[in-house]
Amino acid sequence: MKRDIAQTLNELLSNKFSTIEIEKMIEKPKHVDHGDLAFPCFRFAREFKQSPADIARDLGGAFVCEGVHKVNVVGGYINFYLDIPILAAKVMSDITTQGSHFGEKQVGQGKAVTIDLSSPNIAKPFSMGHLRSTVIGNALANIVEKVGYKSIRINHIGDWGTQFGKLITAYKKWGDEEKVKTSPIVELHKLYVHFHEQAELDPSLNDEARLWFKRLEEGDAEAAKLWEWFREVSLHAFSLVYELMGISFDSFNGEAFYNDKMSAVIDMLERANLLEESDGAMVVRLDEEGLPPCLIKKRDGATLYATRDLAAAYYRYENYSFAKSLYVVGNEQSLHFKQLAAVLKKLDVPWANDLVHIPFGMMLKDGKKMSTRKGKVVLLEEVLAQSVKIAQAAIEEKNPTLAKKDLVAKKVGVGAVLFHDLKVFRQNDVHFSLEDMLRFEGETGPYVQYAHARACSILRKAKMDMQHGWSTTYETFGEEERPLIIQLHAFEDTISEAVKEWDPSKVAKYVVELCQHFNHYYAHVNFLQNANEQEKQQRLTLIYSTTIVIKESLRLLGIDAPEEM
């Protein structure tokens, strides 16, 4: 409908603009009573030497378009009220024929988008602090696939760096092999925390840790053996959490993978005369870009994040020929990614602008940032398990005869944790609250899942064949159906906005609003009683279309949609 309205407007504007340009200007009014769509005329005042109100009045008075049953002009805005029976026929024809493919586009044309996400550190627990990168990145991967890209999920594991010198030092001084074998992540984390506590009393421990990491970089057998062991047990522990969340990866190439690829990058920088010495370290100056120097090598010759990320960027482009390379990493790393792109531009890399940092806020507990260094951490695995347990208790209380209770509880419990994160605009902080996550009212995962299950229950009770007999005309539809139809119609635009802004919360907020409209419709329309067969068929087709879009919205967020709860 947006396209049809834009085309009609452009014709009235003597085709002075592109239809696509006009379509982008059409917006959703803030208030429902102001129409279904609105077109602001302010930008045309200079072009036509008229006031926006006069332009809106002239355009509105001449506007005629199939599917728009009323036009209302308010100030410089033209408000459009869509013809619900016509819109319903189009939207629900698309949904019932396309099913889960509804809303798909081929914008990406099969091009690759690499997504650097999750990236927990080896030998540290998978905390709630890691949740954000994991679920935002996974949702973005699903969303870009929806519009025709091929996503490459890369878990850039933190398996290198001075923390391994600290961990090896701690293990050598205080470690117990049997305890680590029995409960690796817990014990290794304890050792890591203990190291920092002791280093505050004895700073020489930091020097010892640096020496152990230097030995690891130089290929020392003992250091390498311990490092490989820590990495192996950590990846196994991480895999259990990823499996519970239903998240998989195309690559686990972490920092260590690029150890033999950094010298080529350093050579490149030297050949381009970009490396300079600064207090014994090697840097690339970025004064012209208004940025501090990018540190490539420390005084002791050790490499840094920037060196590895430069090597990783080259490797990913050479192996995947990405259209975009996304880095789902916290707000605090914004400077690092600005420096990364700036260095690549100095190297005249044509794809430097295709690197995109996707920043996000922190996960807070009691208003404070979680810290693995100080041991103030909430383990994601424990949160997921607790959430599932609470969901199990709720099911036992409300629906004890439910089939596959444990499976449904898992979907609800895990979905609650994921949705609580994804409903928040990614650059805002998220406040950890298990109680808030599991509410069945408000903007929560269980609320959306329950709306889906309720809609599925209606269809089962009506015994409608989900493959045949859906309505194709909707003459009986009116104001009661309007909000639900308009929201279903908005699904495609929501996907486009989520891709444009790299923001999964667009989808989460959309599906909450869809469920709110559905629940209102369910509460106010007694559609299975006192209705003729035609009305029943039309209303059930609307319910069926709603289940498809709710389920697909949740899938894009990485969340399951149970048919019974």
* Residue at which a domain ends, from 48, 82, 116: 82
Checking if the pLDDT of 384 tops 80, the result is yes
Domain count, the chain: 3
> What's the confidence (pLDDT) of residue 510?
98
Q: 69 and 177: one domain?
A: no
> What's the confidence (pLDDT) of residue 435?
82
Say if 521 falls within a structural domain: yes
201 confidence band (pLDDT: 50, 70, 90): very high
> What's the confidence (pLDDT) of residue 31?
84
Q: 206 and 66: one domain?
A: no
Out of 33-37, 135-139, 250-254, 434-438, least confident range: 434-438
> What's the confidence (pLDDT) of residue 300?
67
> What's the confidence (pLDDT) of residue 303?
64
> What's the confidence (pLDDT) of residue 436?
84
Instruction: Give the range of the structural domain holding residue 450, as residue numbers without chain letter.
Output: 380-556
> What's the pTM value of the predicted model, to 2 decimals?
0.91
Q: 414 and 524: one domain?
A: yes
> What's the confidence (pLDDT) of residue 305?
83
Question: Which of 297, 302, 274, 270 lies closest to 287 in space, CA to CA?
Answer: 274
Other C-beta atoms closer than 10 Å to the C-beta of 403 total: 8
> What's the confidence (pLDDT) of residue 301?
62
> What's the confidence (pLDDT) of residue 128?
81
Q: 65 and 166: one domain?
A: no
Checking if the pLDDT of 116 tops 80, the result is yes
> What's the confidence (pLDDT) of residue 431?
86
For residue 262, the surrounding DSSP H or E stretch is: helix 262-271
Say if 465 falls within a structural domain: yes
* Mean pLDDT for the stretch of residues 49-71: 95
What pLDDT digit, counting tens, does each position of 229-240 carry? 999 989 988 999
Q: 67 and 167: one domain?
A: no
> What's the confidence (pLDDT) of residue 380?
87
Q: 385 and 502: one domain?
A: yes
Say if 403 falls within a structural domain: yes
User: Which residue shows structure tokens 């995962």?
Assistant: 445
CATH number, position 464: 1.10.730.10
The angle subtended at Cα 285 by Cα 280 and Cα 288, nearest 5°, is: 160
What pLDDT digit, counting tens, does each position of 83-102 carry? 999 999 999 999 999 999 99
Cβ atoms 1, 87 nearer than 8 A: yes
Burial of 21-53, coded b for 16+ CB within 10 Å and e otherwise, reads ebbebbeeeeeeebbbbbbebeebeeeeeeebb
* Mean pLDDT for the stretch of residues 51-73: 95
Say if 102 falls within a structural domain: no
* Mean pLDDT for the stretch of residues 323-344: 96
302 confidence band (pLDDT: 50, 70, 90): low
> What's the confidence (pLDDT) of residue 26?
94
Q: 77 and 174: one domain?
A: no
* Residue at which a domain ends, from 30, 61, 82: 82
Q: Which residues contact 299 (CB under 8 A, 6 or more apart)?
A: 279, 280, 281
433 confidence band (pLDDT: 50, 70, 90): confident
> What's the confidence (pLDDT) of residue 185?
85
* Residue at which a domain ends, from 48, 63, 82: 82
Checking if the pLDDT of 263 tops 60, the result is yes
Which two tokens mark 551? 């389920």
CA distance 335 to 357: 10
Checking if the pLDDT of 465 tops 60, the result is no
Say if 481 falls within a structural domain: yes
Q: 396 and 527: one domain?
A: yes
Q: 50 and 199: one domain?
A: no
Say if 363 falls within a structural domain: no
Q: 392 and 534: one domain?
A: yes
Out of 45-49, 140-144, 367-371, least confident range: 367-371
Say if 353 falls within a structural domain: no
What pLDDT digit, counting tens, does each position of 148-189 carry? 999 999 999 999 888 899 999 999 999 999 998 888 888 998
What pLDDT digit, counting tens, does each position of 266-278 carry? 999 999 999 999 9
Q: 452 and 544: one domain?
A: yes
Q: 75 and 194: one domain?
A: no
Say if 564 falls within a structural domain: no
CATH number, position 41: 3.30.1360.70
Which range has highest mean pLDDT (380-384, 480-484, 556-560)?
A: 556-560
CA distance 137 to 118: 7
Checking if the pLDDT of 373 tops 60, the result is no
